[in-house]
A and B are shown apart, each in its own frame.
Chain A
Amino acid sequence: MSPAPGDAPATAAPAVELRGVWKRFPGVVANAGAHLTVWAGTVHAVLGENGAGKSTLMNVLSGVYRPDEGEVRIDGVARHFRSPADALAAGVGMVHQEFRLVPSFTVAENVVLGAAERIVRRQAVESAVAELAERFGLATEPDRPVWQLSMGERQRVEILKALWRDARILILDEPTAVLTPGEADELGRILRHMAEDDRTVIFISHKLHEVTGFCDEATVLRGGETVAASLPVAETDSSALAGLMVGSSPAISERPTPVAAGGPMLTVVGLACLDDRGLPALHGVDLTVRAGEIVGIAGVAGNGQRELAQAVAGLRPTTGGSVHIDGIDLTAATPRQRFGAGLGYIPEDRMGVGLAPRLSVTDNAILRTYSSHRRGPFLDAEAATAHCRDIVDRFAVRTGPLDQPIAGLSGGNLQRLLVGRELSDRPRVVVAAQPTRGLDVQGVKAIQDLLVAERGVGVAILLISEDLDELLTLADRLLVMHGGRVVAEFDPEAAGRHDIGEAMVGNASTGVAAT
């Protein structure tokens, strides 16, 4: 546990000390003199909103980035990591959000990659890996190929990798993003176990409740700087932590003024479909969104929300059920037809589905409407540019010349372009999947305002988000999805987070909340 202030730790230096770290990328300063101090045998949380610089700082610690300025000390000794290998050698292991695993290799092969004996004897290695796994309570099968494993299982492989190299300092970047609540608790246990083994665990998160659950101390980053260092979690109020993360006590977000909702615009009945692996993802989803209403969908990632959005937008074939917009049956319609019928879709994958990274701003702006700019076989370049300029102006997209590739735009502007494009044709229904993910505070506000404005003019909006706060603020009705079904409906103004959370993990007892 961390020494109490006033105890002079005789010769022990902190396990990890980062001082005055600066890291710049083209166009953005990710870390501006950040610092961090972590003692051995503790679980330390690094908190901050998206874009606060947490991942960057950890990448510096784990040798992925070289800091422009600043110092890294491990056990009191200054280190200059030239690569992740250097960091590993110093005992720093990182488990990234996107796993670094070779899908076609077995668990054992993945664990020992980079830290194997010169001659790899399969049997011996597999039993050694199994032994290590048992020691820390990580159930695993060493000879299974990784492509067959679930997310939680893969994460355990990642942790094993670090342990195999005797990482004394373990960094986990948003580890629970891909876990069910049950798996997240399990992870918490494992991490405490390691702390008791006198290892150091650093845990990046932007979810407060996890932090209070199993961390000893927390450091808060904001705007690339450290705004609060090593706060003892047990003695700190979580709303104070939240305040530090956003810069002031969060104003109670104003709910949008109620609007009388009109008739049903989007009607989904018994919708069923498969996921990418061919397994059923939706098991008969029913929902209705009325004109001038925002219906929010909450749920842990991986319960069918993604597939629901894709199925409604026409990007995923359905195996049953129907989708109607204002009474028109669009179940078999193509995305283009749905757009023509008044459906706007803001996909989760901004770059790569919604926008084409190598194409120009104009090319992206006319993605959905280019057919209307045709003159015979030709594309009316002027009309296209005019349309693009219109979107850019109306939705305040900050961009360079319109014929340049969009790759240089910031996340916020990309999203504005995308949302603007979808809204430019005055849709009647908008399906928005994670529309504010990865944006900074201003960007989030801008997109939220846009959605509320659309609601104000009678658009029916289906809002899928991992940010429960966002849903509670914006939605008129809140649905919870679990296991490919809608399992509960809540009134956002009245519902308790606890009940919603229970529904999210499948314990929807009553289902419908009070009015």
Chain B
Amino acid sequence: MRRPVLARRDQVLRGGQPLAFAVGLAVALVVGVLLLLGSGHDPLRVYGRMFDASLGDPRAWSVTLNRAVPLGLAGLAVAVAGSMGLWNIGAEGQIMAGAIGAAWVARIGAGWPGPVLVTAMLAAAVVGGGLLALGPAIARARIGVNEIITTLMLNEVAIRLVQWLIHGRWKDPGSHNFPLAPMLPANGRLPTLFERAHVGVVLAGIVIALFGLAASRTAWGYELRVAGSSGATARYAGISLKRKILTVLVLSGGVAGFAGGVELAGTADRITEGLSNGFGFAGIIVAALALMRPSGVAAVALLFGAVQIGGQSIQTMGVSSSVSTILQALILFGAIAAGVLSRYRIEMVAGDTVGAAASGDGS
């Protein structure tokens, strides 16, 4: 009786992760076709519309870029922590915390000149996100509390905090039955870049590039690599693990908070419960696909942005926008599978021992 076994390849397949990514995309598109056919839609028309709406013309591009901003920043946040082996699952909440910070500054600084107000809002957003991550950061650095759970739990807390504010002290007196926060003042908005895209696109690009540079070229990035590889080795090299964990997690939270501030000041009119819109979780997927490297985050975020915007556009065709959600998840699953297969191959191993060339060690 023969059974399949995963055996490590001697050499990782060429083209590794980008190839895996492409395979994942292909798999997702194929499954998407089946889904659409199954519910009686024309896949070509649907995909065509998705493409047009997201990448068809400059206007579409501008909307897609806007969407790529929070995805990319959230992805960067997760990647920064991820490069040290830490999981920031709290980007969703940190985005909200950042938005709260920015919204608060907008309330008190309504009379300030535009650039000043916007800068202050974004700074407050970074602080907000960083603050939310501070608790889990300290807990992990000093006691070793698993940051996956602590950051995850605070998501829900932050979201409810926004709800509470909107229903309470921040409620726009004009909104009666359905509580809403007031709209942002005009001088609290990010200026437009082109078509519908706002300056946040440039800001996000700069931040991602900066981190990419820092990770590969600076001593700080080197220390991060060492700390991520092995705690004992890091101590040996004189790197304070506690300090690194603390700074990395808070920084990660700050970047996610920045995403919230940019999203608020760029795309949204006002702070709402749905502002984070799954960006935090999508960011984890983006970071995973980019192998926790800032250099890959931008490209993956752009793709996911296109998928999401495309998904919204097909609603008028009577197709649920959740097609795009499904596609995103499928891209990831496909990419995981492809990634694993680029490092391992499947072998059929017989019960008979003769000729069985398994590699391995069990001890």
**Interface, chain A (partner B; CB < 8 A):** 24-26, 55, 59, 64-70, 72, 80-82, 84, 96-98, 173, 315, 334-336, 339, 345, 347, 349, 352-359, 363, 366-368, 370-371, 374, 377-379, 381
Contacts and interface: CB of A to CB of B under 8 A. Distances in A.
Interface of B: 8, 10, 214, 217-222, 225-226, 228-230, 232-233, 235-238, 349, 351-363
Given A64-B362, A347-B236, A379-B222, A357 B217 contact: no
A26 B217 contact: no
Contact of B236 (A59, A335, A358): A335
Contact of B219 (A72, A353, A358, A374): A374
A97 B237 CA distance: 30
Contacts of B229: 356-359
B232 A84 contact: no
Secondary structure of the A side of the interface?
Answer: loop
Nearest to A351: B230
Contacts of A370: 219, 222, 237
A24 B357 contact: yes
Contacts of B360: 25, 65
Contact of A335 (B222, B238, B358, B359): B238
Given A24-B357, A359-B229, A96 B363 contact: yes
A68 B353 CA distance: 7
Contacts of A335: 235-238
A186 to B, nearest CB: 24
Nearest to B8: A26
B79 to A, nearest CB: 16
Nearest to A373: B219
B72 to A, nearest CB: 24
A365 to B, nearest CB: 12
A362 B220 CA distance: 16
B363 A66 contact: no
> Which of A69, A345, A355, A379 is most buried by chain B, counting CB atoms within 10 A of its CB?
A379
B351 to A, nearest CB: 5
A55 B237 CA distance: 34
B237 A367 contact: yes
A336 B219 CA distance: 15
Contacts of B363: 55, 59, 64, 96-98, 173
A26 B10 contact: yes
Contacts of B219: 370-371, 374, 377-379
Nearest to B85: A358
Contacts of A345: 236
B236 A68 contact: no
B235 A367 contact: no
Contacts of A69: 354-355
Contacts of A377: 214, 218-220
Contact of B237 (A64, A98, A368): A368
A353 B237 contact: no
B238 A352 contact: no
Q: Which 7 A-B pairs have the closest CB atoms?
A: A336-B238, A64-B362, A356-B229, A356-B233, A353-B232, A66-B356, A358-B229
B235 A68 contact: no
A94 to B, nearest CB: 9
A364 to B, nearest CB: 9
A377 B359 CA distance: 44
A67 B353 contact: yes
Contacts of A357: 229-230
A336 B362 contact: no
